[in-house]
A and B are shown apart, each in its own frame.
Chain A
Amino acid sequence: AQKVTQAQTEISVVEKEDVTLDCVYETRDTTYYLFWYKQPPSGELVFLIRRNSFDEQNEISGRYSWNFQKSTSSFNFTITASQVVDSAVYFCALSEYGYGQNFVFGPGTRLSVLP
């Protein structure tokens, strides 16, 4: 069965600090997809990134970067030079190929960036 764990329930940092959000997943499939979503206080979910299981290349997008390591089943998310607007709940999600696009979401990590 698929499962996503985000061990950090809440994180607080001061603006301009770097912060890493952890995501560990479980799946028996060899083909799967990993996602990160951001949910700001207003409630909407914003898609950040998708990664497939065959692509272990790390990705950087502005202040955001993602580190995918199959050996440890982890897909961690780092925000560099955090800003107050980064305050949100961040969800990691897993989707297995051929299982109808069902997502399994992690419990989320609430990030608070203090000025």
Chain B
Amino acid sequence: GAVVSQHPSRVICKSGTSVKIECRSLDFQATTMFWYRQFPKKSLMLMATSNEGSKATYEQGVEKDKFLINHASLTLSTLTVTSAHPEDSSFYICSATGTGDFGAQPQHFGDGTRLSIL
């Protein structure tokens, strides 16, 4: 149980392209979804937290106009990297939690999306 599907797993595209990454909870309702960015050999850096039906909360230093997050349903959140540039190249990972005690629920992670901007 608690499967999170992230798509696509890898994207290579030209500078200036917008890229959409999908994150789906397959067998549970995800009240909260998270988007992380991971640089090589580094830890996960939280970019934003989104709750279904409301605007995402972005971490300090993350450009909300660059990284558009939509959490349209209890099973789907999307991250759109707008007008991507080489410095946006990274590994992006989503996670989701279900209902329950705040803080107690483990986050279930997607397999990540490796984004390469040429």
Give chain A's interface residues, CB within 8 Å of chain B. 31-33, 35, 37, 42-47, 50, 52, 91, 95-103, 105-108, 110
Contacts and interface: CB of A to CB of B under 8 A. Distances in A.
13 contacts: A37-B109, A42-B111, A43-B91, A50-B106, A52-B104, A91-B44, A97-B101, A98-B102, A100-B49, A100-B103, A101-B102, A105-B44, A107-B42
Contacts, number: 68
A52 B15 CA distance: 45
| Top 8 closest pairs, chain A to chain B, by CB | A45-B109, A95-B103, A44-B111, A97-B103, A43-B112, A107-B43, A47-B106, A105-B43
Given A43-B111, A44-B110, A50-B106, A103 B93 contact: no
B83 interface: no
Contacts of A37: 109
Tier of interface size on chain B: 20 to 34
Contacts of A43: 91, 93, 111-112, 114
Contacts of B109: 37, 44-47
* Among B41, B44, B104, B114: residue with most chain A CB under 10 A: B44
Given A43-B114, A102-B46, A103-B46, A32 B106 contact: no
B46 A97 contact: no
B64 to A, nearest CB: 17
Contacts of A106: 43
B102 A99 contact: yes
B32 interface: yes
